[in-house]
Chain A
């Protein structure tokens, strides 16, 4: 498609009407429209409970008024930390209705991270799920003079807490209800005062490079995003949506928080993050959006279960999947297949795939999206083989969703075709390719800048074009292919460029490998890999093969495990050209851990940090050593530190 592109249908296209210019206005409208229909479902004491639009709105109103009574002023920040729960959603809608802006925090952030985000976002109220979150903020409260209240909804374990900052969610709501009786018009007035250009939240970049930056979101950007999706691959009203990915991530802000009201969806909250699989099954979820890691995890689970199955079931699985993969190849790669496969498919579907879909809970799923980083083609193929029509989507916090698989096109190599942006929010979306194939974007509601960081904002915006930092390839048919981060394409000492992420993603599909970091740069003659084995699955494999081990360092350094992983790497090497192949590898003696800053909270690798930490080991790989004595400092959860010492063999391929 060349070097640039633009949506040219903008002038002769019938655009859907705009119902409201802010999310709270839309929420109020929907609550009147669908008062008695179910909006939220959640599991309590083992039973699914339903909440109607009327009840949700009443709760949002009560909490919003409560915040106003406490002293929240328009434009101030409310920070929220917790798992996906109804209260979290109420708190966000309430804060927006009161004219505030919202920043959501990942529930597993450290106190230092919480402090940084609260400081950077000027948070004045902190809404927390439970003791875990409250403890973090109480630990750093002395350094946060602007913090006025910490509000929590699960009081468990805090029965003896007496900190004057603390207040229970219900108390705030009670205050709000009382306040509402005194001033019945106040909440409606507050909603009416909102403008589309008001800042609605800050979406913090995951911080793969340096400190997280808060991307400014406005009601316009949120609604622009909602329209982009609905005009591309529409969700049906009252679709059963599973809210699972963290609201701290822009994707859930768009799907759960915004589209939930916009479409509207029926929001379902899993009982606990660990029960999401049985919960999907109980609910018959129709739409869900996971990150590639979660999809990869699901695929691994099926494969691990099949490893444990008896020969009879394994046989049917094998045959059924063979047929499924043929159909998947036809659908995702446009491969021509023998018509016989098409005839066999309904039978295979009935015997095998339907059962897998049912067990995973995807029986009714019509929209399954994967967004975030690039997705392994093997995983993608796997889901199409079992009949789940997975779609890739691509977007970045700064400029919103950009591309997604549309209609019946599911080319696994691509991230789909371009969304269009509603003209009410700005000019049509345009793209062009910059240096090194970097994707540049403008149009739509546009990049609103980083919060309190004009310098970083300017760096990203060159002559009105937003620099995505992603190297892409645009195909003739308008579908986009993701290559790698521009900064991540790397060359070896020979000058040969290789795609580290590509290798990593393909290696991670092995059920035995949990994380992997590929090493190689201008100073190195070949590519090597540090591998973090999947302790659970490798452990099961070891047990089956009569190998005994005690701890992770022990298991990971067994020669048999080394051989197992070597074979997995060889499989992937076959996909690569000679110069890009992995020549040596090492099984890390400890797991990579976000608590030690080796991974970000979204489980992305912090490359520089890891390469630094294992510098000596890497040096040994490029020497002629066969073994290396590693001493890895580890930080335990209770704050203690220790050292893991092992002899790590260097495995040649």
Chain B
């Protein structure tokens, strides 16, 4: 596990008297889809926010590719290759799908404001390149029919897909996903599950996702971590986790 691409050690985080994370240690391997599950308030999203830099843990460290990143702000972490998608979607509602995806390219843009305004040859060349990346993502996520649609006109399921596209536009080395299936219908979930698997298999991106939907988790995750009240209570393959009595009682309560 030590050579995992992302590693958090002894994360502690509290809000007042609520201990959201109580010394959590997890690692993401180079070739896996790791699911973090747990009942409401277990600390899943807190963990994700600590990993991506939105929260600063009181104790503990985050390592990415062997280097400490705990001190980096979220946008710095994006630059080193940590992409993430959000539970509540953080996109530009009045912009087109294509533009939203291009936004994800910002960290790779080299020309400055003036050069872009004057549209110098290298600015033009650069734009073509970013456009190509964006179009490849549109092709990859099968978004051709909605390429020019305004995001605000799209349903929730499609917005989530665009959010994934925006994250992929960063060319991330890993992907942190916060409840990618929340609020979706069965068909949208199936599509999203396929895109997550494709992202993992074809783009070779390790994925850490927080997810409520047990069925999806059991289908696509290679490993599962279970949180309850800020504690890590179980870790292992989906089939094993499903039968773990601690997990069952955490989810269903005890009789």
Binding site for B on A (CB under 8 A): 45-47, 156-157, 159-160, 271-272, 274-275, 278, 637-638
Question: Given A45-B135, A45-B139, A46-B135, A271 and B144 touching (CB < 8 A)?
Answer: yes
**Does B202 touch A at the CB level, under 8 Å?**
yes
Contact bitstring B30-70, A, C-beta under 8 A = 1, else 0: 00000000000000000000000000000000000000000
- 5 pairs from A and B in contact (CB 8 Å cutoff): A45-B138, A46-B135, A157-B198, A159-B201, A637-B187
Find A160's partner among B136, B138, B147, B201 (CB 8 Å cutoff).
B201
- CB-defined contacts of A156 to chain B, threshold 8 Å: 198, 202
- Residue ID in chain B nearest A636 by CB atoms: B186
Contacts of B198 in A (CB 8 A): 156-157
Also in contact, A272 and B138, with CB within 8 A (given A45-B132, A157-B198)? no
Q: Which residues of B contact A638 (CB under 8 A)?
A: 190
Whether the pair B201, A272 counts as a contact (CB closer than 8 A) is no
Task: Summarize B's interface: helix, strand, loop or mixed.
Answer: helix
B136:A45 contact, CB within 8 angstroms: yes
- Would A46 and B138 count as touching, CB distance under 8 A? yes
Closest to A637 in B: B187
A160, B202: Cα distance in complex, Å: 10
B145 at the interface (CB under 8 A from A): yes
- Asked if B79 CB lies within 8 Å of chain A CBs, one says no
B142 engages A272 (CB within 8 Å): yes
Q: How far is the CA of A274 from the CA of B131 in the complex (A)?
A: 22
A45-B135, A159-B201, A278-B148 given; 8 more Cβ-contact pairs under 8 Å: A45-B136, A45-B138, A46-B135, A47-B135, A156-B202, A157-B197, A157-B201, A274-B144
Residue of A nearest to B140 (CB): A156
Interface size class of B (residues with CB under 8 A): 10 to 19
Write out the residue numbers on chain B whose beta carbons fall within 8 Å of the beta carbon of A275.
Answer: 144-145
Contact A274 B145 (CB under 8 A): yes
Q: In the docked arrangement, what's the CA distance between A109 and B27, Å?
A: 44
Residues of B within 8 A of A278 (CB): 148
Q: Tell me which residues across on chain B come within 8 A of A157, comparing CB atoms.
A: 194, 197-198, 201
Please give the distance in Å from A555's CB to the nearest CB on chain B: 16
Chain B residues with CB under 8 A of A272: 142, 144-145
CB distance from B49 to the nearest CB of A (A): 32
Q: How far is the CA of A635 from the CA of B198 in the complex (A)?
A: 27
Query: For residue A160, which residues in chain B have a CB less than 8 angstroms away from its CB?
Result: 201
Query: Given the complex, which residues of A lie within 8 Å of B136, measured CB to CB?
Result: 45
**Shortest beta-carbon distance, A636 to chain B, in Å?**
8
Residues of B within 8 A of A (CB): 131-132, 135-136, 138-139, 142, 144-145, 147-148, 187, 190, 194, 197-198, 201-202
**A46 CA to B147 CA, complexed, in Å:** 9
Complex Cα spacing A274 to B187, Å: 17
Measured CB to CB, the closest approach of chain A to B224, in angstroms, equals 21
Q: Closest B-chain residue to A273, C-beta based? A: B145
Complex Cα distance, B144 from A338, in Å, reads: 47
The complex places the Cα of A82 from the Cα of B136 at a distance, in Å, of 21
Q: In angstroms, how far is the closest chain A Cβ from the Cβ of B128? A: 10
Contacts of B135 in A (CB 8 A): 45-47
Distance between B201 CB and nearest chain A CB, rounded to angstroms: 6
3 A-B pairs with least C-beta separation: A45-B135, A274-B145, A46-B135
Which residue of B is nearest A131, CB measured?
Answer: B194
In the assembled complex, how far is the CB of residue B219 from the closest CB belonging to chain A, in whole angstroms? 12
**For residue B145, which residues in chain A have a CB less than 8 angstroms away from its CB?**
272, 274-275
Nearest CB on A from B124, distance (A):
15
CB distance from B150 to the nearest CB of A (A): 14
Closest CB of chain B to A623's CB: distance in Å?
Answer: 37
Cα separation A545 to B243 with both chains bound (whole Å) = 50
- Nearest Cβ on chain B to A224's Cβ, whole angstroms: 38
Bound complex: CA A385 to CA B144 (Å): 32
- Across-interface contacts of A46 in B (CB, < 8 A): 131, 135, 138, 144, 147
| Residue of B145, B190, B197 contacting most chain A CB atoms (<10 Å) | B145
User: How distant is the Cα of A47 from the Cα of B132 in the complex, in angstroms?
Assistant: 10
Q: In whole angstroms, what is the CA distance A569 to B26 when docked?
A: 64
- Nearest chain B residue, comparing its CB with the CB of A47: B135
CA distance A157 to B141 in the complex (A): 12
B187 nearest CB neighbor, chain A only: A637
**A278 to B198 CA separation, bound complex (whole angstroms):** 28
A638 CA to B191 CA, complexed, in Å: 13
Q: Shortest distance in angstroms between B161's beta carbon and chain A's nearest beta carbon?
A: 14
CB-CB < 8 A to B147: which residues of A? 46
A386 to B172, CA, bound (A): 50
Nearest Cβ in chain B — how far from A312, in angstroms?
A: 22
Determine the distance from Cα of A271 to Cα of B135 in the docked complex, in whole angstroms.
12
CB distance from A131 to the nearest CB of B (A): 9
Are the CB atoms of A159 and B202 closer together than 8 Å? Answer: yes
A47 and B131 alpha carbons, distance in the complex (Å): 11
Taken together as a complex, chains A and B put the C-alpha atoms of A275 and B145 apart, in Å, by: 5
* Complex-state Cα separation, A271 to B131, whole angstroms: 17
Cα–Cα distance between A638 and B215 once the two chains are bound (Å)? 14
Q: Which residues of chain A are within 8 angstroms of B190 by Cβ–Cβ distance?
A: 638
Which residue of chain A is the closest to B132 with respect to CB atoms?
A45
Given the complex of chains A and B, what is the CA–CA distance between A159 and B187 in angstroms? 23
Residue of A nearest to B146 (CB): A274
Contacting residues, chain B, for A271 (C-beta < 8 A): 144
* Measured CA separation A159–B202 after assembly (Å): 7
Q: How far is the CB of B251 from chain A (nearest CB, A)?
A: 23
Distance A314 CA – B180 CA, assembled complex (angstroms): 41
Shortest CB–CB separation between residue A520 and chain B, in angstroms?
37
In Å, the complex CA distance between A157 and B200 comes to 11
Q: How far is the CA of A46 from the CA of B133 in the complex (A)?
A: 11
Q: Name the residue of chain A whose CB is nearest to the CB of B197.
A: A157
Report the bound CA distance from A45 to B130 in whole Å.
12
Q: Which interface residue of B136, B144, B187 has the most chain A CB atoms within 10 A?
A: B144
Q: From residue B132, how far is it (CB to closest CB) to chain A in Å?
A: 6
Chain A residue with minimal CB distance to B131? Answer: A46
Residue of A nearest to B98 (CB): A46
Across the two chains, which residue of chain B brings its CB closest to A160?
A: B201
**A-chain residues with CB within 8 Å of residue B197 when the two chains form the complex:** 157
In the assembly, what is the distance between CA of A335 and CA of B80, in Å? 73
Chain B residue contacts of A274, Cβ below 8 A: 144-145
* Cβ-closest chain B residue relative to A277: B145
- In the complex, residue of chain B having the shortest beta-carbon distance to the beta carbon of A270: B144
Residue in A closest to B194 when the chains form the complex, CB atoms: A157
Contacts of B132 in A (CB 8 A): 45
Q: How far is the CB of A82 from chain B (nearest CB, A)?
A: 15
Closest Cβ–Cβ distance, residue A227 to chain B (whole Å): 37
Question: How many angstroms between the C-alpha atoms of A11 and B131 in the bound complex?
Answer: 61
Which chain A positions have C-beta within 8 A of B138? 45-46
Minimum CB distance partner of B198 in chain A: A157
A275 to B201, CA, bound (A): 27
Complex Cα gap A278–B138 (Å): 16
Q: How far is the CA of A157 from the CA of B187 in the complex (A)?
A: 18
Cα(A637)–Cα(B136), bound, Å: 29
Chain B, residue nearest A279 (CB): B144
**How long is the Cα–Cα vector from A47 to B144 in the complex, in angstroms?**
11
Q: How far is the CA of A345 from the CA of B185 in the complex (A)?
A: 49
Residues of A contacting B142 in the complex (Cβ-Cβ under 8 angstroms): 272
Complex Cα–Cα for A272 and B197 (A): 22
Query: Which residue from chain B places its CB closest to the CB of A278 in the assembled complex?
Result: B148
Residue of B nearest to A155 (CB): B202
Shortest distance between the CB of B222 and any CB in chain A (Å): 13
Separation of A275 and B131 alpha carbons in the complex (Å): 19
A160 to B200, CA, bound (A): 12
Q: Please, how many angstroms separate the alpha-carbon atoms of A278 and B202 in the complex? A: 29
